[in-house]
Amino acid sequence: MQAEQVQQDQLANDLSNASTPGYKSDTSVQQSFGSMLLANSATGQTIGSLQTGVGLSTPVVNTAAQPLQQTGQPLDFGVQGNGFFAVRTPQGVQYTRDGQFQSNAQGQLVDSNGDQVLSQSGAAITVSSAGTVPASSLGVFNITNVANAGNNLYSGTATGPGTGTVRQGELEGSSVNPETTMVAMITSLRTYQSGENAIQSIDGTMQESAQNVGSIGGG
């Protein structure tokens, strides 16, 4: 049941971010706990194995590239294919697929949090007086160990340039698919309900044994 709660929380977060550019949905992979082998404690005879339920492993960020949407804004950029933009944040260099950039008071290209966008060589990028930046000046990096850091940013390790190409005047959409997310929410809700039913029936069995086992013979 707890596994389903986590799933519901993540699905709600996904739906909440259906409009966030470059958002990548996350999924907690459910895995079974190790099963226990039951044995008779007196004779050592094996009785059988017992499953202990379902647990959750580290969430996996779905990094698949999403279709780019035309915005026509000169400082909107999208990566077509694989790769992330790099930005210099107070927490060090982080990565994003949200290319909704703007220029700051110093005329440098920054993201919507005000963090400098970096070129392939890791330098800041200057916006021309006409308010444009050539798409080729933005760095695209291939990232491993991608983890959500909030604010449309990801932490990870850069392993050289990404294979994607930068497109100007376009933004990547959110990877949240509303239909599948809604269906997953309902499925998860029902699984949660069956978990509750299982608890109740086990409770029933235990109640039966508590009430009746001692009264054998006594009628």
Partner 1 sequence: MLEGLYAAASGMGAQQQQFDAISNDLANVDTPGYQSEIVGFHDLLYSNGGYAGNVATGAGSEASVIGRSQTQGAIEQTGRSLDVAIQGNGYIEVRQADGTIGLTRNGALEMNAQGQLTSQGGDLLQPPVTIPKGVDPANVTIAPNGAVSSGGKQFGKIQLVTVPSPDNLTPVGNSMFSANAASGGISSATGATLQQGALDGSNVDMSQAMATMMTAQQSYSMDSSAIQDQDQMLEIANEIKP
Determine contact, residues 102/71, Cβ cutoff 8 Å.
Answer: no
Check binding of 185 to partner 1 (CB under 8 A).
Answer: yes
CB of 68 to partner 1, least distance (A): 16
What's the Cα-to-Cα distance from 53 to each of 4, 36, 162, 205, rounded to whole Å?
12, 11, 40, 19
Site membership for partner 1, residue 211 (CB under 8 A):
no
Q: Which residues pair with 108 in a beta bridge?
A: 126
Nearest Cα neighbor of 141 from 82, 192, 91 is: 82
Report the nearest approach of partner 1 to the CB of residue 118 (Å). Answer: 18
Which segment (2-10, 40-48, 84-92, 133-141) binds partner 1 by CB under 8 A? Answer: 2-10
Cα(159)–Cα(163) distance, rounded to whole angstroms? 11
Q: DSSP string of 73-129? A: -TTBEEEESS-BEEEEETTEEEEES--B-EE-TTSBEE-TTSPEEB-TTS-B-BPPT
110: which strand partners? 102, 116
Cβ 40 to partner 1 shortest distance, Å: 31
Which residues within the stretch 98-137 sit at the binding site for partner 1 (CB under 8 A)?
98, 100, 102-107, 112-113, 127, 129-131
* Candidate list 63, 65, 74, 135; residue touching partner 1; CB under 8 A: 74
Which residue of 41, 57, 211, 215 would you call a contact of partner 1, by CB under 8 A? 57
Report the interface residues with partner 1, using CB under 8 A: 1-2, 4-6, 8-13, 15-21, 23, 26, 28, 55-59, 72-75, 98, 100, 102-107, 112-113, 127, 129-131, 147-152, 178, 181-182, 185-186, 189, 192-193, 196, 199-200, 203
